[in-house]
Amino acid sequence: MNLQQRDSAHIWHPLTQHKLHPFAMPIVKAKGAVLYDENGKEYLDAVSSWYTAMYGHCNDFIIERAHKQMQQLDQIIFSGFTHEPAVELSEKLMAILPENQAKLMFNDNGSTATEIGIKMALQYHDNKGNQRKTLLAFENGFHGDTLGAMSVSGLSVYNGPFEEFFIDVKRIPLPDGENETEILRKIDDFHAGSPLAGFIYEPLVQGAAGMKMYKAEHLEAILQKCQKLEIITVADEVMTGFGKTGSFFASDHIKTKPDVICLSKALTAGLVPMGITTCTQTVFDAFYDDDIGKGLFHAHTYSGNPIACATAIAGIELLQSEEIQQNIKKIETWHQEFAEKIKDHPKVRSTRQQGVIFALELNIAMERYGDLRYKIFDFCMKEGVFLRPLGETIYILAPFVTTKIQMEKIYDTIKKVLDRF
Ligand SMILES: Cc1ncc(COP(=O)(O)O)c(C=O)c1O
């Protein structure tokens, strides 16, 4: 049996209807922006393996740091214990996060990062004796696949069996510069009907929705309104964090800073999983009490894992390096040039860009998990480029170390898709 057959014997893959798509694609090696299959065929990872491996796969600097840490301290319960990599990471993160962030809680992935953000918002009010059981979120947002995270995700298409268990969530559309008054009125109405505990949002770019983008200035009034009403603002930076939007965090582009920030994905540079949820001193203080029950009793076994922390520290050092900062600027310019070249193609409805995130809206009707989507995926893989269309959107979120020649190949493959489909 080959790897594919052995895989299908036991493995249940994420986001997969196995009856329709029984086989997964074996990858045996990865380096920089390149993935290799069993036959040695190369594929450019144009989506950084779900936006994680931003400094390139199997990055020597990161591996060396993780390896060093493995020989020193592998794992220790983080309830009641601490260690140098966790403390150093907390200091390094606080130095680059928006100034109002003061405390952080470790967890395991993007969904747990947002789940904790949601719990912080709900329990903040509970601890204060406020009756606030409802959350506010954008239509079409995505915040993960655990039950709380699913509740706030307007996007999830196949939520049917779980909806009756969801937290009560009210939804507002993305701000577009024209609907501000209507959105603010909606928030007031919702709040009057069922007081809102928190507002969770993906700042500037809604990843899973198809890299939908909106302007920083259009979010300002919403955040101000929430903070005025003491609705805890939770920025889900799981996708947008760590340089992708052209600054360390998408929240850097926005004047009003969130009360809570959720991090994961590129946090650990694609090497190991980890999530972190940060918050302001004010949020933390609402849990600081003689009453033990007012604490945030949330833990994951691998919270603050030393190897993950060492990896994250190495990632932040790379992010701050001159080389990566220069690469980010270069990629921004290449994308702008590509957009200019491609924008009048009859199959292109529109293009958009925020930092190194580039998205192209196809003028072709395509279902999110429909046949055409899989055909385009297969075609790109044959061309040696891993692209993952989301609905009618094709996007590029390639590692910061992608070279000009590699990026040209990604662009050429997209052009071929446009000419062919
Ligand atoms: C904005 C956002 N939040 C949360 C998540 C969930 O992260 P994870 O898949 O690590 O649970 C994702 C995943 O794509 C995401 O894009």
Q: Residues 367-396: pLDDT tens digits?
A: 777 788 889 999 999 999 999 998 899 999
**pLDDT tens figures, 250-273:** 999 999 999 999 999 999 999 999
The answer on pLDDT for 29 being more than 90 is: yes
Ligand 1 nearest-atom number relative to CA 141 = 1
**Whole-number Å distance between alpha carbons of 353 and 338:** 11
Measure 111 CA to ligand 1 centroid, in angstroms: 6
Position 340 scores a pLDDT of 97
Residue 158 has pLDDT above 90, yes or no: no
pLDDT value at residue 156: 67
Ligand 1 within 6 A of CB of 143: yes
Cβ distance 361 to 339 under 8 Å? no
Whole-angstrom distance, CA of residue 420 vs CA of residue 325:
36
Residue 256 Cβ contacting ligand 1 at under 6 Å: no
> CA-based diameter of the chain, in Å?
66
Residue 276 beta carbon below 6 angstroms from any ligand 1 atom: no
Is the model's pLDDT at 157 over the cut of 90? no
Q: What value does the mean pLDDT take over residues 412-419?
A: 96
pLDDT tens sequence across 97-114: 999 999 999 999 999 999
Rounded to the nearest whole angstrom, what is the distance from the C-alpha of residue 239 to the centroid of ligand 1? Answer: 7
Q: What are phi and psi of 249, to 5 degrees?
A: -130, 150
- Return the residue whose CA atom lies nearest to atom 4 of ligand 1: 143
Which amino acid is present at 112? T
Nearest protein Cα to ligand 1, atom 13: 144
Q: What is the pLDDT of residue 118?
A: 98
Alpha carbon of 154 to ligand 1 centroid (Å): 13
Paired tokens of 178:
């024209």
Is residue 277 within 6 Å of ligand 1 at its C-beta?
A: no
Q: What is the mean pLDDT of residues 52-78?
A: 98
Look at 158 and 303; give whichever has higher pLDDT. 303
Residue 249 Cβ < 6 Å to ligand 1: no
- Percentage above 90 pLDDT, the chain: 92
Q: Contact 236/149 with Cβ under 8 angstroms?
A: no
For ligand 1, whether the C-beta of 49 sits within 6 Å is: no
**CB-based contacts of 402, cutoff 8 Å, min separation 6:** 32, 33, 44, 331, 410
Cα 419 to middle of ligand 1, angstroms: 32
Is 212 touching ligand 1 by the criterion CB < 6 Å? Answer: no
Q: Tell me the average pLDDT of the chain.
A: 96
Q: Would you say the CB of residue 175 lies under 6 angstroms from ligand 1?
A: no
Q: What is the DSSP letter of 32?
A: B
| Ligand 1 close to Cβ of residue 144 (< 6 A) | yes
Residue 152 tokens read as 């706030």
